[in-house]
Amino acid sequence: MSFVARLLNPYLRLTEKPMLKKASPEKMRRSLEVKSRLFFHPPRGTRYGKRTLGTGANRVEAVTIEGTTLTGPLILYFHGGGYVFGSPDTHKAMLAKLSRLTGCPVILPRYRLAPEHSHPAPIEDGLVAYREIMDHPGGVILGGDSAGGSLALGLLGEIIRMGLSQPLGTFAFSPLTDLTFTAPSILGNDAADVVLPGSRAAEFAEMFLRGADPKDPRCSPLFAAFTGASPVWITVGDTEILLDDSTRMADVLRAQSVDVTLRLERDLPHVWPVFQNILPEARQTLQALANWVGALSDSGKR
């Protein structure tokens, strides 16, 4: 473990976890927006833009990041935040780093959040965004973290169910894959997780579900059908409350003959790649993901 990680973990335990235990959605949103501007910085020369996906009532605004490749894939990335907070702006620095490593352009949709918008609003917005760019000449790669990882994987399941053109692959950082919250790590890792409080998981889920079935595969991809899916890459820390959401998701995918890469990391905070400008392990993870993206790009050209 790096020196920075040794400092970061107790800092997050003292600041972020207490806030997430009691803050309102509005406070969580304000907090992450401010902290992301202060602490998350993109590589120099990064250029952000805006794009509208879809038309009319089915319209989703998005932040874009220019890539350097003219023939490679486009990354469609969904931010995390428990379906309650977070935005493209809070995650765009991390994606700018990934874009720099891969050369790929990135689109980050501003999907609807709870409690103002309940399930299935995020997956509907995800489908609008994907339909808009699914014929990108270099192919599309889906990605997301935490609830956004759930959205990316749920969207992959919907793409297969609907018979749409598949992405080249899908990746997820510490994804939330089971809103029934039956995984042992939800409570078993509650003391060890330096960011997420397992005690509030059900409350967040209710804000989002509003009585919907938590086993709906569109919001709990652990229950989706993935036979015939393109490759999936997942990473998670061994002390996270969402550890089992990742390991069980990998088992489900493998049981359906999907090519899965699962990277388990030791004692790193939830979605640690967001700290790419200060944390060595974050840069290492993004480089490993970039290598995987590169291999997908090469196979897509054959």
* Range 3-301 classified under CATH 1.10.3720.10: no
**Per-residue pLDDT at 94 exceeds 70:** yes
User: Token pair of 146, please?
Assistant: 């935490």
Alpha carbon distance 75, 228 (integer Å): 21
pLDDT-derived band at 57 (thresholds 50, 70, 90) equals confident
User: Token pair of 35, please?
Assistant: 């902290």
Least reliable range by pLDDT among 51-60, 87-96, 104-113, 117-126? 51-60
**How far separated are the first and last CA of the chain, in Å rounded?**
39
Least reliable range by pLDDT among 65-74, 172-181, 190-199, 268-277? 65-74
User: Token pair of 170, please?
Assistant: 């899908």
Could you tell me if 77 and 108 are in contact, meaning their C-beta atoms sit under 8 angstroms apart?
Answer: yes
pLDDT-derived band at 71 (thresholds 50, 70, 90) equals confident
Q: How distant, in Å, are the alpha carbons of 2, 17, 72, 77, 214 from that of 144? A: 25, 21, 19, 5, 20
Q: Which pLDDT value is given to residue 202?
A: 87
Average pLDDT over residues 147-151: 98
> Which residue, chain included where needed, has tokens 């400092």?
7
Q: Which pLDDT value is given to residue 300?
A: 58
User: Rg (Cα) of the chain, in Å, rounded?
Assistant: 18
- Domain coordinates in residue numbering, the chain: 3-301
**Per-residue pLDDT at 39 exceeds 50:** yes
List pLDDT tens digits, range 174-213. Answer: 999 999 999 999 999 999 999 999 988 889 899 999 999 9
Burial of 166 (0-12, 13-18, 19+ CB in 10 A): middle
Q: Which pLDDT value is given to residue 299?
A: 65
Q: Which pLDDT value is given to residue 301?
A: 57
Which amino acid, residue 145?
D
**Per-residue pLDDT at 274 exceeds 50:** yes
Q: How distant, in Å, are the alpha carbons of 22, 82, 106, 242, 275 from that of 236? A: 25, 16, 22, 8, 15
Average pLDDT over residues 283-289: 98
Looking at every residue in the chain, the average pLDDT score rounds to 96
Tell me the HSE value of 278 on the side-chain side, using a 13 A CA sphere: 15
Burial of 298 (0-12, 13-18, 19+ CB in 10 A): exposed
**Per-residue pLDDT at 69 exceeds 90:** no
Which amino acid, residue 259?
D
Q: Which pLDDT value is given to residue 123?
A: 98
List pLDDT tens digits, range 215-252. Answer: 999 999 999 999 999 999 999 999 999 999 999 999 99
Could you tell me if 149 and 140 are in contact, meaning their C-beta atoms sit under 8 angstroms apart?
Answer: no
- Percentage of the chain modeled with pLDDT above 70: 99
Average pLDDT over residues 262-278: 97
Tell me the HSE value of 172 on the side-chain side, using a 13 A CA sphere: 31
Alpha carbon distance 230, 259 (integer Å): 7
